A and B are shown apart, each in its own frame.
Chain A
Amino acid sequence: MKRDGWMWLLALLAGFGLGLVYAWMVAPVRYVNTVPTTLRSDFKDQFRAAIAASYSATHNLDRAKARLALLGDADPVQALTAQAQRMLASGASFDSIRQVAALASDLKSGVASALPTATGTPTAIAPAISPAAAIETATAPTSASETPTAVNGSPTAVASTSAPQIFDTPTPRPTYTPTSTPGAPFKLVSQESICNPDLTDGLMQITTLDSTRHQMAGVEIIITWSGGEEHIFTGLKPEIANGYADYIMQSGVSYTVRIDDSGSPVPNLAAPTCPGANNQTYLGGLHLTFQEQ
């Protein structure tokens, strides 16, 4: 009797093990219809870059927001900003960095801005939002047979349905008003020395404005000095300002700053020496403001 009990238990365990092998290795649950939230992080980066490239072409901020929501980032602005910095560090193309930074900046401000384009002309406005971009899926798929349910306007978590329900109501088109002449040169409109011991020593702060004095994100700034060159972009610190960028100057080094390839170089920029406490001195900073002409 006791032996039968052991046999039962052994058979049960063996069966359990066989079941696990079948469930985990032979025929595991397959998610073939996954959602973007489950993508590997590098693929999410590529998705964000594509969203930014699309946004730079269409200036459709609502559509870009809906698409970014699909990736499930807690803070899309932060995710874009961090990605722009990663791209900068990895030597990605300036155009793609500029697109990502500009999208982060526009998301933060909530206003679609005009970007300088390669062709120099504003591009087409995007049409109505597509069904896929209107779907908000806050959770991972619960069923491989889940069907898409597009709810336009307010993203809503949707449950599985037996048949697709598509409500294709066009979203309002953004009113795109060109605010500047794309590719117009920038001009230095103000330069001031900053003596503030609370700031990082040698901090060069740069602000870029468009012709209507709105801050511009995604503007490339080229800083050169004897034996070196650095490229930075505005918009990577939207927590400070959309058109802001900064750089740490070294003592005794003369820098030349120019905006993109279109601006006139501003030479002979150096960190000022500021009087500090107890007759000590410290390295001050500069604040340069460039405006598109």
Chain B
Amino acid sequence: MTLGIALGLFYGWVISPVQFVDTTPASLRADYRADYVLMVAEAYHADQNAQLAAQRLAIFGSDPPDSIASQALQTGRSAGYAPNDIALLQDLTRAMQAYQPVPTAAGNAP
């Protein structure tokens, strides 16, 4: 039986492991997440639309947008991002910390 278990594990982990082809952004490696956040920061720098930036950051799930931006900033610092990129991420982080979600029309409906 031990031999069978070993064979089963070998087959399940090595020969035919579970395939993850439709992954979510939350599972991305930290540097890819940080680069996405940098894209959002670049766009935010141009349009100054905090709501749109928060919507774009929501791709990562239910974490608060300031937390997502802050994590990206830390990743950027540790990965040696250029100073301009760091500055953009800092701007976005500040904006997300100050951002208050606008209630939707549906939320205001009686």
Q: How far is the CA of A168 from the CA of B66 in the complex (A)?
A: 26
Which of A27-43 touch B at CB < 8 Å?
28-29, 31-36, 38-41, 43
Cβ of B99 under 8 Å from chain A:
no
Cβ of A237 under 8 Å from chain B:
no
Tell me the dominant secondary structure on chain B's binding face: helix
Interface size class of B (residues with CB under 8 A): 35 or more
The interface residues of chain B lying within 8 Å CB-to-CB of A34 are 20, 23, 27-29
Q: Is the CB of A57 within 8 A of B31?
A: no
Q: How far is the CA of A195 from the CA of B6 in the complex (A)?
A: 75
Q: Is the CB of A19 within 8 A of B11?
A: yes
Q: How far is the CA of A20 from the CA of B79 in the complex (A)?
A: 39
Q: Is the CB of A126 within 8 A of B42?
A: yes
Cβ of A166 under 8 Å from chain B:
yes
The interface residues of chain B lying within 8 Å CB-to-CB of A54 are 38-40, 42-43
Q: Is the CB of A53 within 8 A of B43?
A: yes
- The number of residues on chain A lying at the interface, defined by a beta carbon within 8 Å of a beta carbon of chain B, is 59
Chain B nearest CB from A145 CB (Å) reads 11
From B11, B23, B24, B27, A23 is in contact (CB under 8 Å) with: B11
From B47, B56, B84, A57 is in contact (CB under 8 Å) with: B47
Cβ of B109 under 8 Å from chain A:
no
The interface residues of chain A lying within 8 Å CB-to-CB of B25 are 39, 43, 46-47
Chain B nearest CB from A64 CB (Å) reads 9
Closest residue to B84 on the A side, CB-wise? A127
Q: How far is the CA of A108 from the CA of B98 in the complex (A)?
A: 39
Q: Is the CB of B29 within 8 A of A22?
A: no
Q: How far is the CA of A119 from the CA of B21 in the complex (A)?
A: 40
From A12, A22, A43, A50, B24 is in contact (CB under 8 Å) with: A43
Q: Is the CB of A57 within 8 A of B36?
A: no
Cβ of A74 under 8 Å from chain B:
no
Cβ of A16 under 8 Å from chain B:
yes
The interface residues of chain B lying within 8 Å CB-to-CB of A150 are 79
Q: How far is the CA of A13 from the CA of B4 in the complex (A)?
A: 6
The interface residues of chain B lying within 8 Å CB-to-CB of A168 are 80-82
Q: How far is the CA of A17 from the CA of B59 in the complex (A)?
A: 38
Cβ of A131 under 8 Å from chain B:
yes
6 tightest A-B contacts by CB? A19-B8, A15-B4, A23-B12, A127-B84, A57-B46, A132-B35
A sample of 28 cross-chain residue pairs with beta-carbon separation below 8 angstroms, ordered by A number, consists of A11-B4, A12-B7, A16-B5, A19-B10, A22-B8, A23-B17, A34-B23, A34-B28, A34-B29, A35-B28, A38-B22, A39-B22, A40-B24, A50-B36, A53-B40, A54-B39, A56-B46, A57-B45, A58-B46, A67-B35, A70-B32, A130-B81, A130-B85, A131-B80, A132-B31, A132-B32, A146-B29, A170-B82
Task: Given contacts A130-B38, A132-B35, list 12 more A-B pairs with CB under 8 A.
Answer: A12-B7, A15-B1, A18-B1, A19-B4, A28-B18, A39-B28, A43-B25, A56-B43, A57-B45, A128-B85, A130-B76, A148-B29
Residues of A near any B CB (own CB < 8 A): 11-24, 28-29, 31-36, 38-41, 43, 46-47, 50-51, 53-54, 56-58, 67, 70, 117-119, 123-124, 126-128, 130-133, 135, 141, 146, 148, 150, 164, 166, 168, 170
